[in-house]
Chain A
């Protein structure tokens, strides 16, 4: 496994976390919990953005390992 594919795996996990947080925020009845889930989802989005740019950099640095 190249670093690129590892980072890609983490990115997918992050996206799944974000989706779960969003669905929890929508489902829960409690205002405080809703707020916590929603804020966490937003923070996760920021992390996703960072990792996405990093993944782009890695792919540019090592084009020979890029997956089709």
Chain B
């Protein structure tokens, strides 16, 4: 067998082996794997690469190495799933670095983290002052995760005691000028609806790069032609405005009339409209 042919065959074999092994690994970004996992990956890649081009090494040797590595990886991942002690032994436990707002110097020393290191890691989490941190933990993967103090956390609707509508994922209904019928159907919308909605805003399907329907059935789309202006969806803002307007009108009528019964009726109606406005606005706010 000529040498180049053998190299080609070995490379092909290595390719297949690596592909099969990648199925064994847990799905996560490479940066998040622990040092241990990362070094095993590196070792295997080197074995495969050497096995492919070093023809002096008999083919069985790299294959044996790969198989043993593969079994070990599979075994550890299986065992660590079942057993907590095993898991912390192999992948390491989280070590608290800051607790109750105080830096734990002993733990830092054990993990060989310098002060500069700690500060720069905090900065990468958008915290420039250690005093803003309530709790920080060094994960087994070497990542530093932090919990900032309550007053430093962004305001959420829950803190403001505000009601917000539940958010639902939008459906993409047009891609590259082609209508996608399945997502349209899951929303219970028809082909004709989409066409008429586009026509309302002066667009043709061929000209639409991407279009999405939000949870209230509002359509937003982007055209291939970037010079053309697309009208924004108006249904919800319009509804809000006309609710306010009608309420104001009714209150005006109530002030205008001298008929006591009619006055009360108008006031009641205005109150109703105000209530409707209150019920609907959480869902119409973008």
Q: Which listed residue (A13, A32, A40, A51) contacts B276, Cβ 8 A?
A: A40
B217 at the interface (CB under 8 A from A): yes
Verify A17–B275 contact, CB threshold 8 A: no
**Measured between alpha carbons, how far is A17 from B217 in the docked complex, in Å?**
17
Verify A20–B279 contact, CB threshold 8 A: no
Interface residues of A in 13-63 (CB under 8 A from B): 13-14, 16-17, 20-21, 23-24, 27-30, 32-33, 36-37, 39-40, 43-44, 46-47, 50-51, 54, 57
Size category of the binding interface on chain A: 20 to 34
Known: A13-B242, A17-B239. A40 touches B279 (CB 8 A): yes
Known: A43-B272, A43-B276, A44-B276. A33 touches B246 (CB 8 A): no
Q: Which listed residue (B215, B268, B272, B275) contacts A28, Cβ 8 A?
A: B215
B187 at the interface (CB under 8 A from A): yes
Known: A50-B265, A50-B269. A17 touches B243 (CB 8 A): yes
Q: B57 to chain A: closest CB distance in Å?
A: 60
Contacts of A17 in B (CB 8 A): 239, 242-243, 246, 276
**Measured between alpha carbons, how far is A48 from B238 in the docked complex, in Å?**
19
Q: A17 to chain B: closest CB distance in Å?
A: 6
Q: Which listed residue (A36, A39, A40, A54) contacts B265, Cβ 8 A?
A: A54
- Interface readout for B247-286 with A: 1 if CB under 8 Å, 0 if not? 0011001001100001001101100110110011011000
The secondary-structure label for the interface of chain B is helix
Contacts of A21 in B (CB 8 A): 239, 276, 280
Determine the residue in chain A with the shortest Cβ distance to B166: A30
Contacts of A14 in B (CB 8 A): 246
Interface residues of B in 140-177 (CB under 8 A from A): 165-166, 168
Verify A39–B279 contact, CB threshold 8 A: yes
B178 at the interface (CB under 8 A from A): no
Q: Which listed residue (A13, A24, A54) contacts B216, Cβ 8 A?
A: A24
Verify B242–A33 contact, CB threshold 8 A: no
B residues with CB within 8 A of A = 165-166, 168, 187, 189, 215-217, 235-236, 238-239, 242-243, 245-246, 249-250, 253, 256-257, 262, 265-266, 268-269, 272-273, 275-276, 279-280, 282-283
Q: 24 A-B contacts, Cβ less than 8 Å apart?
A: A3-B256, A3-B257, A6-B249, A10-B246, A13-B242, A13-B245, A13-B246, A14-B246, A20-B238, A20-B239, A21-B280, A24-B217, A24-B236, A29-B187, A32-B165, A33-B216, A36-B279, A36-B283, A37-B280, A37-B283, A39-B279, A43-B272, A46-B272, A54-B262
The 4 A-B pairs of least Cβ separation, nearest first, read A27-B217, A40-B276, A10-B249, A33-B283
A residues with CB within 8 A of B = 3, 6-7, 9-10, 13-14, 16-17, 20-21, 23-24, 27-30, 32-33, 36-37, 39-40, 43-44, 46-47, 50-51, 54, 57
